[in-house]
Amino acid sequence: DARVTQTPRDKVTEMGQEVTMRCQPILGHNTVFWYRQTMMQGLELLAYFRNRAPLDDSGMPKDRFSAEMPDATLATLKIQPSEPRDSAVYFCASGSTGYDEQFFGPGTRLTVL
């Protein structure tokens, strides 16, 4: 049963450290999304890729966040340097088109102390 996988599932780090989160989309899906979920802001879209090209990353703080797709099977979200306000659950989702169902991964719970 095809699923989106994310690593790590939990990450605790100290302020200023670099954090890298990884996502493996479902094989054959050509769209990948990164979301951040917090109690205060809810679910926010950070970045959106189609065929590995970034289409929209306007939701992402550019000074410290970066998202890439080195190949079709791997998407990464990096925070450098991390800050306590980055603490959240980060979800990756993939889809076969940009407008149909998105399949979500289990998320990475990030805690920045």
Q: Closest separation between CB of residue 54 and other proteins, Å? A: 12
Beta strands in 1-113 (DSSP E): 5-7, 10-13, 19-24, 31-38, 42-50, 53-56, 65-71, 74-79, 88-95, 103-104, 108-112
Query: Taking CA 24 as the corner, what is the angle to CA 96 and CA 3, rounded to the nearest 5 degrees?
Result: 65
Query: Among residues 20 and 37, whose Cβ is nearest to other proteins?
Result: 37
Q: Closest separation between CB of residue 48 and other proteins, Å? A: 5
Query: Among residues 81 and 104, whose Cβ is nearest to other proteins?
Result: 104
Residues lying near other proteins in the complex (CB under 8 A) are found at 33, 42-43, 45, 48, 55-56, 91, 93, 97-102, 104-107
Query: Among residues 8 and 98, whose Cβ is nearest to other proteins?
Result: 98
